[in-house]
Amino acid sequence: MDFVVRKMREEDIAQVAKIEAMTFTEPWSEQSFLSELKNPQATILVSEANGEIAGFADMREICGECYINNIAILPQYRKMGMGTALMEGLQNACTENAEFITLEVRESNSVAISLYKKLGYVKVGVRRDFYREPTENASLMTKLLK
């Protein structure tokens, strides 16, 4: 499967918001993605395959700290390397001042946790009852960049 990872454009917002709504119980709106796209601290990448947006990843860098907000891939495009490519793209977008990159993940999301571990992230904490519908703890995972 051939795909390309690139920066999100305004015309991608509807497709990205649709993937978000299919993936998360408290999804961001199209307006939220538009605001994020205009945020100079944010990086939003998309993976494109067969002429459609197949996945996306969003991160903010603040004072040398990179925070991954969301990453999602349509079910039919999973296990094809897009998650790895998006995560590596975010890491490559971190400035040279960035000291670490971090994220939260549902404790039950073993597939994502496995990917993050493979990419060098380690569990550094737990956020109790972080997620709703259903209520679940989040594992806080971080990768040092320096």
Give the active site residues.
104, 116
For 104, the 3-state DSSP assignment is strand
Query: For residue 24, which of 118, 104, 119 has the smallest C-alpha distance?
Result: 104
β strands within 23-99, DSSP E = 42-49, 52-62, 65-73
Instruction: Give burial (CB, 10 Å; 0-12/13-18/19+) of 73.
Output: buried
Query: How far does Cα 88 stand from its chain's mean position?
Result: 11
